[in-house]
Amino acid sequence: MKMLINVPESVVPDALRGMAAAHPELSVDVERRIVVRRDAPVAGKVALVSGGGSGHEPLHGGFVGAGMLDAACPGEVFTSPVPDQMVRAAAAVDSGKGVLFIVKNYTGDVLNFNMAAELAEDEGIQVASVLVNDDVAVTDSLYTAGRRGTGATLFVEKIAGAAAEEGAPLERVEAIARRVNEASRSFGVALASCTTPAKGSPTFDLPAGELELGVGIHGEPGRERRAMMTSGEIADFAVDAVLADLQPTGPVLALVNGAGGTPLLELYGFTAEVHRVLRERDVPVARTLVGNYVTSLDMAGASVTLCQVDEELLRLWDAPVQTPGLRWGR
């Protein structure tokens, strides 16, 4: 497999150097692997910190900035960052109002963020944590006990980030983040495997003419494999899987998220089918976001995330945001 890299061992630091060059509004510590908004700590503001394995860009470093995260901790590809990164990030952004850790439900992330929270509190930093576990495809997987954290991470970071930007206290920001997670569900589909730099070949075998329904963001198996389906058939399956679990009674935010290797031409066509299914199921769509936001390196495929919203959550979603990966209203 051809890749635009130097050597596999330097992929993450090379990417961080590039991020620093492209985004002077961020402070990027390449050696310690921390991405921080340059104006942090922001006086009187609760700070949001997240992180996870690299390979899911723009998640999480690309969501650092006004209205979203205050800091992110990138690990090695598909590998959790370590507690020292998280503690340094918390110390760099804490204004005295506390720090919220946003953690995707993967075993390494959960263990390391829990340890970091204890270490940060020993240093006098007030920490709260929210676990994102929105994937309805499977209950347990290769990387986690319980549901995986996927596309809803973007919703949690954006909406909780807006609340923090408005000056809400830690308890309120934490509660809003939990509400968003509880109101969100996701389902992903893979058309082709991803390739990690270290392996240099597909991470799992997906024969030509087949797709994986319910795939995880590291290529973990889903519910089943089937012969290739049309965009409309995939939308029917994915949206129905989400609605069966979420059962919304009001409008939803819809995220049609590319896995990294699917062009926007296909994603927009798939979005039209997702909207068709939601219309047929009498589910109103308040807002739609389409693009590559929670990726899996070069995997071909997409996921659908729905979040039921009320007036408050929708207002916070619409609030201004300015990050490398998401920006509007500023």
The rounded radius of gyration (Å) of the Cα atoms in the chain is 19
- Check 23, 56, 60, 275 and give the catalytic one: 56
Nearest to 85 by CA among 62, 52, 55, 41: 52
Is 23 one of the catalytic residues?
A: no
Note whether 292 and 258 are within 8 A (CB).
yes
Is 56 one of the catalytic residues?
A: yes
Could you give the angle at the alpha carbon of 53 between the alpha carbons of 156 and 6, nearest 5°?
135
Note whether 91 and 123 are within 8 A (CB).
yes
Residues composing the chain: 330
Share of the chain residues as helix, strand and coil, in percent rounded to the nearest 5: 35, 25, 40
SS3 83: helix
* DSSP-assigned states of every residue in 16-77: HHHHHHH-TTEEEETTTTEEEETTPSPTT--EEEEEEEESSTTTTGGGBSBTSBSEEEEEEE
Sign of torsion, CA 305 310 313 317?
positive
Tell how far CA 23 is from the center of its chain: 20
Beta-carbon-side half-sphere exposure of residue 220 (alpha carbons within 13 Å):
22
- Check 23, 60, 218, 275 and give the catalytic one: 218
**Distance (Å, whole) CA 284 – CA 248:** 10
Identify any residues that bridge with 198 across adjacent strands, giving them in sequence order.
none
Tokens of 75: 């690990």
- Which of the residues are catalytic? 56, 218
